A and B are shown apart, each in its own frame.
Chain A
Amino acid sequence: MVDAALMDALRAGADGSVDTDVGPRPSDLTVSLGRTRDLPAAAAVLIGPYAMALATVVATDETATPDGDLKVRYVFEPTAPGAPDQFVTLLISVDAAHPEVPSLTTAVPAANWHEREMQDLFGIVSVGHPDPRPLVVHDGWPKGAFPLRKAFDGSQRVPVEPADEFPHLVAEGEGVFEIPVGPIHAGIIEPGHFRFTSVGETVLNLDARLFYTHRGLEKRMEGLSPLDAFYVAERICGVCSVAHGLGYCEALEQIADVDAPPRARLIRSIALELERLYNHVGDVGNVCAGASFHYGTAAGMRLKERLQQMNERLAGNRFLRGLVVPGGVRLDLTDDLLGLLAVTLQDTLAGLDSLMARIEANPSVVDRLDDTGILQHQAALDLAVAGVAARASGVDRDARRDHPHGAFAGPEPLDLRVATASEGDAMARVTVRALEARESIRLVGELVRRLEPGPLQVALIEPLPSGRIGISAIESARGEAVHWLRIDAAGRVERYHLRSPSYHNWPAVVLAAETAIVPDFPLVNKSFELCYSCTDR
Chain B
Amino acid sequence: MLRILVNAIRTGVVTTRYPVEPSVPPDRFRGAPVLRPGSALPPPTVCPTGALSERLDADRRYVALDLARCIFCGRCAEDPWVDAVAMGRDFELATRCRNDLRIEVLADDPTDRAAGPAPDRDAEAARSLSEIHRVLGRSLHLRHLDAGSCNACDWELAALLNPVYDIRRLGIDFVASPRHADGVIVTGPVTRNLETAVHRTFEAIPEPRVVIAVGACAASGGIVGEGYASAGGVDRVLPVDVYIPGCPPRPEAIIFGILVAVGRLSARRLGSEG
Measuring CB to CB, which residues of chain A are less than 8 angstroms from any residue of chain B? 137-138, 147, 152, 154-158, 160, 183-184, 186-191, 211-217, 219-220, 224, 228, 230-232, 235-239, 241, 295, 298-299, 301-302, 304-305, 308, 312-319, 321-322, 330-331, 354, 357-358, 361, 531-533
Contact = CB atoms under 8 A, between A and B. Distances in A.
Given A191-B197, A215-B191, A322-B72, 19 more contacts: A152-B228, A157-B226, A157-B227, A160-B195, A184-B197, A186-B176, A213-B146, A215-B148, A224-B48, A228-B48, A231-B48, A231-B75, A231-B223, A235-B152, A238-B153, A313-B26, A319-B248, A358-B7, A361-B3
Contacts of B159: 301, 305, 308
A239 B155 CA distance: 8
Contacts of B195: 160
Contacts of B163: 298, 301-302, 305
A219 B227 contact: yes
A252 B85 CA distance: 28
Q: Is the interface of A mostly helix, strand, loop or mixed?
A: loop
A213 B152 CA distance: 13
Given A186-B176, A188-B157, A322-B30, A231 B49 contact: yes
Interface residues on B, range: 35 or more
Contact of B223 (A154, A235, A330): A235
Contacts of A308: 159
Q: Which of B146, B156, B189, B228 has the most CB of A within 10 A?
A: B228
A137 B157 CA distance: 28
A478 B221 CA distance: 27
Nearest to B30: A316
A239 B224 CA distance: 17
Contacts of A224: 48
B266 interface: no
A231 B28 contact: no
A212 B229 CA distance: 10
Given A215-B191, A238-B154, A312-B26, A295 B164 contact: no
Nearest to B224: A215
Contacts of A230: 48
Contacts of B157: 188
B246 to A, nearest CB: 10
Nearest to A186: B176
Contacts of B176: 186-187
A140 to B, nearest CB: 9
Kindly list the 3 A-B residue pairs having the minimum CB-CB distance in the complex, ordered from nearest.
Answer: A238-B152, A216-B229, A186-B176
Nearest to A236: B150
Contacts of B4: 295, 358
B150 A235 contact: yes
Contacts of A330: 74
A460 B164 CA distance: 42
A330 B72 CA distance: 14
Contact of A216 (B14, B87, B154, B230): B230
B198 to A, nearest CB: 9
Nearest to A217: B224
Contacts of A213: 146, 148-149, 188, 191, 193-194
B69 to A, nearest CB: 12
A239 B151 contact: yes
Contacts of B28: 312-316, 331
B201 interface: yes
A154 B3 contact: no
B9 interface: no
A51 to B, nearest CB: 34
Contacts of A228: 48
Interface in B102-143: none
A322 B223 CA distance: 14
Contacts of A238: 149-155, 248
B145 interface: yes
A228 B157 CA distance: 28
B164 to A, nearest CB: 5
B32 interface: no
A183 B197 contact: yes
A102 to B, nearest CB: 29
A138 B223 contact: no
A260 to B, nearest CB: 18
B197 A212 contact: yes
13 contacts: A156-B228, A157-B227, A158-B229, A190-B146, A190-B151, A213-B193, A216-B228, A219-B228, A219-B229, A236-B150, A302-B14, A316-B29, A358-B3
Contact of A241 (B48, B146, B152, B194): B152
A368 B56 CA distance: 66
A138 B195 CA distance: 11
Contacts of B161: 188, 301
Nearest to B201: A184
B256 to A, nearest CB: 16
